[in-house]
Structure 1
Amino acid sequence: MHRLPFLCCSSCDHSGEEVVEVVPSPALDGVVAQDEPAEALKDSHAAASETADHYEVHIKKSHSSDRLGLVMRFYKEHENLATVLHVTAGLIDEWNQTNPHSPVSPTDKLLEINGIKQRAGAPLLTEQLLASDELHLLFQRS
């Protein structure tokens, strides 16, 4: 289990898989507090481009507390392959509603965040998701 500031809901199982839900939350004395889901992003700049089985998602956060609503599994044995498990309430769900031609779906693979490839690992990818106001995500359909 990784101990990262602002990371919630990280767990490992015995097969080398790690499930990570990224939620911006303040950490106090080793305790992580859950934030309520953020309001819908009103001024989002959303655009998608698709090439074959790859597609891009561009999201601009309005507030640092905006929730992505993305639950991922990282497979350490496969160069930190990151797979979408669920999309919950948040910016990704909002993206899916406004871009039905290019939704983020369970089993899709996350290839890059702001140019950083998935093989960089869960801690660096999580840091990018939490720290960046603009996210450029590259996914691969499964």
Structure 2
Amino acid sequence: MFLCCCTEAGNEHHQALFNDPQFPYQDVVSARRELVRNIEVKVKYEKGSSGKLGVDLDAIDIHRGLVVKGVLPDGLIAEWNRANPENAIKPSDKIFAVNNQVGTVQDLETHIVSSGPDLQLSVRRPQRIEVTLQRPGSLGLRLHFKKSSKGVLVSEVLADGLATDWNAKNPTRRITAGDRILEVNGEALPPEDLIAKLAKEDVMVIHMLHYDQDVPKPV
């Protein structure tokens, strides 16, 4: 197993490459997905309010949106959730457009800050996938994470490896760039520990989030 990690100065970004062509694909077992849906959230900056969204956001996936790590008890999103429980923003949801504008996470953050009294967020709720991969074989994934990130980001599916073989056999349940690995073999661990388990385990039951989303084009 080849493992390469790098850190970008000042940003605590880490990258891991799992690819070892000497081992052929052996076995990929079950996958399961839950319902995915989009949510439109419209909040208003009331006069005298703090104007804070009140969410903890993960911006590691530069081109696909801001993932919600947590909702604070005070703020515009908490107020929205109390008034709209059927369309509440939850941890793991992804903000992919702001006032109908898409772009990089920096663009989205700029749109939020510069918004007028009305703010519209387009939010995507993920599917949850369970995939079992068994060695010998390489994952064939390029992974990216920060210590504070929501799981481990799949930044690229390589041409060879267990992930590519899984995709060929399961075209409607593909592992794609933008997915987030949350658990390996039943353990929800910090990102660096998830990477370590992926590097050493022979059988890997992987739980990940899938947002069914291509890289958005600016409008």
TM-score by length of 2: 0.49
Match runs of 1:12-31 below 5 Å? 12-13=7-8, 14-23=10-19
Give the Cα–Cα distance (whole angstroms) in 2 for the partners of residues 125 and 85 of structure 1: 15
2:34 corresponds to 1:47 = no
Shift of 1:56: 0.9
Aligned Cα root-mean-square deviation (Å): 1.9
1:111 to 150, 170, 182: 182
Give the Cα–Cα distance (whole angstroms) in 2 for the partners of residues 104 and 45 of structure 1: 12
Identity of aligned residues (%): 23
Structure 1 residue ranges (4+ consecutive) displaced by more than 3 angstroms after TM superposition: none
Query: Which residue pairs with 1:11 in the alignment?
Result: 6
2:202 corresponds to 1:128 = no
Long gaps (5+) in structure 2 = 36-126, 212-219
Shift of 1:7: 5.2
Task: Specify the SS of the correspondent of 2:144.
Answer: strand
Change (3 A) 1:50 1:86: same
2:131 to 24, 43, 57: 57
TM-score by length of 1: 0.73
Shift of 1:128: 1.5
Give the Cα–Cα distance (whole angstroms) in 2 for the partners of residues 113 and 46 of structure 1: 14
Task: Verify the 8 A CA contact 2:147 2:190 in the aligned structure 1.
Answer: no
